[in-house]
Amino acid sequence: MKNFVKCFVIITIIMVMTFFPVGKVHAIDLKQAALNGDSVAKAFAVVEKNSGRLIMAKNENERLPMASTTKIVTAIAVIENNDLTKTVTVPKAAVGVEGSSMYLKEGEKYTVKDLLCGLMLRSGNDCAVALALDTSGGIEEFAKLMNGIASKLKLTNSHFVNPHGLPENNHYTSAYDLAIITAYALKNKEFSEIVKSKNYMLSNGNTIINKNKLLSSLEGCDGVKTGFTKEAGRCLVSSATRGDATYICVVLSCGPMFEECAEKLNTAFNSLIMTDIISTNTPLCEIEVVGGEQKHVSLGLACVTHFPFTPDEAMSLRFEFELPPCVLAPLQKGEKIGKLHIYYNNRLLFSEDLFTMESIDLDYDD
């Protein structure tokens, strides 16, 4: 088995070197590029949406206030727990909330989607309160939904106590956590459609305009949220898609937030290529099966490993398999067994679950 694994790793690396289109981009040291950028942001992070790879960062795990970029978490929590077509009557508690506002009036009626667009396009703090109360019945109860998202994504540097991002004790995130939450949210169709909208007509006929000016100035920009308070400074989460790559940039406490996000997103697009390393039909390794009609089962990936790499990285990847010594029959196709770890310069880039590629019944004659 060890020889099989070694052989496969060598073949895989050769395949990457053969099919990676070297020459279309310039190989650069992304970490050095980030340092050379003289970022004025207190913290930032750039990740690729689907792989979750951290591309560039500064103080990415520091717990910081994030102002209205909080509403990214609010929006996805509402979308996952409410009906966007439902009509909401604006409660008194949502009227006159300080900060940016849609100027809702008590008793007015809007759909949940109307309020979500007011939340994400105009940054309405009143919309945030109305949505939280309608979804969960109370701010504290809604914050539990928000924290549940961070917990589900296994993030440890985020905690939410309100739906709008106004300053409050114990309300914080990190640039990295917020980027991962945004990547998660952007995989939701309703969320992604809302945040890339330059304008939206409310059910009452009024039109609202998105505050995110990168939607008009940055190629491929498709979201997501601005933010500002005195405590948090200027904050921005931006995403852009070009071809089959989507990168997300978070800057916290950054004066030139639009310029920094645009520069970092362009650097990512100009420096990396999304590459299929291993197809879903490729057996990666075998593992011994005890008590089965077959003595070994092949393991592979459940989906195409589509990762962002520089040319230099693609030529120097190392693959490691984390496997038990054996498994017991019976086995169903698609059972999760072990992991594949992909390294560059002894630094872990990705880990992917390995799955059985076939079913194996018990050997009753054994």
| Residues with active-site annotation | 68, 71, 123
Strands (E), the chain: 43-48, 54-58, 87-89, 109-111, 199-201, 207-209, 221-229, 233-242, 245-252, 273-276, 285-290, 296-300, 306-309, 317-322, 326-328, 336-344, 347-356
**Closest CA relative to residue 87, chosen from 176, 204, 170:** 204
Those residues with Cβ within 8 angstroms of residue 50's Cβ, 6 or more apart along the chain or in another chain: 183, 246, 306
Q: State the Cα–Cα distance between residues 97 and 217, nearest whole angstrom.
A: 31
| Contact predicate 272/55, CB 8 Å | yes
**Closest CA relative to residue 183, chosen from 118, 271, 245:** 245
Strands (E), 135-244: 199-201, 207-209, 221-229, 233-242
Identity of the amino acid at 127: C
Buried b or exposed e, range 241-271, using 16+ CB within 10 angstroms: beeebbbbbbbbbbeebbebbbebbbbbbeb
Q: State the Cα–Cα distance between residues 101 and 107, nearest whole angstrom.
A: 16
Burial of 366 (0-12, 13-18, 19+ CB in 10 A): exposed
* Helix, strand and coil percent figures for the chain, each rounded to 5: 35, 30, 40
